[in-house]
A and B are shown apart, each in its own frame.
Chain A
Amino acid sequence: EVQLVETGGGLIQPGGSLRLSCAASGFTVSSNYMSWVRQAPGKGLEWVSVIYSGGSTYYADSVKGRFTISRDNSKNTLYLQMNSLRAEDTAVYYCAREMGYWGQGTLVTVSS
């Protein structure tokens, strides 16, 4: 059974850093494309980043240069390193396997 479990969210001050993790089971992360998608409170879905099986990565303009997507094949885990966080980064962050399987999300709140 495919499972995705996001962790690492929390309250962080503006300008701070946070690393989100997405532990996968039931499939191999490196064999699929994996995405991060976020949803600000009461708002719609916003694609954040993707890493393809070959290692190529892409980012939304809103996070480019501040966020980094990566994976650890030995841990079968996806990551999102978030630096220079802003209030507008406040959202529930979901990881998804090829957009067909989604985790439950982890809340990131950027506030002083």
Chain B
Amino acid sequence: DVVMTQSPLSLPVTLGQPASISCRSSQSLVYSDGNTYLNWFQQRPGQSPRRLIYKVSNRDSGVPDRFSGSGSGTDFTLKISRVEAEDVGVYYCMQGTHPFTFGPGTKVDIK
């Protein structure tokens, strides 16, 4: 089974400053079709999860461009260029290759 790890698990951030979350998988997420199925989700308090990024670096419709995803193989990163108050919540990476596994989540809050 594919194991997903994230770091840090808790991330206090200053408004307007950048933030970065790392995600690693226990095996390559490159699928036989050549795509890498690594997604990022945001879950605000009391809400359903919302996908931000699919296939490593593609932003979903309506997602602010301050969110970006990068990486390859087994190492991936979600970056927020300038944190806003509405970004508070838990962020999960998820692999969709073997078939699905979520990371443990990274709690983002304001310092």
Contact = CB atoms under 8 A, between A and B. Distances in A.
Do chains A and B interact in one complex? yes
B1 A61 contact: yes
| Secondary structure type dominating chain A contacts | strand
A90 interface: no
Interface in A86-110: 94, 99-100, 102-105
A104 B99 CA distance: 23
Interface residues of A, number: 16
A44 B92 contact: yes
B100 A47 contact: yes
Interface string B13-48: 000000000000000000000000001010100001
B58 to A, nearest CB: 11
Nearest to A94: B48
A35 B99 CA distance: 11
A47 B102 contact: yes
B94 interface: yes
B60 A46 contact: no
Interface in A48-78: 50, 58, 61
B99 A58 contact: yes
B48 A99 contact: no
A35 B103 CA distance: 17
A105 B50 CA distance: 13
A80 B96 CA distance: 20
A45 B105 contact: yes
B48 A100 contact: no
Given A50-B99, A99-B39, A44 B48 contact: no
A37 B105 CA distance: 15
Contacts of A102: 48-50
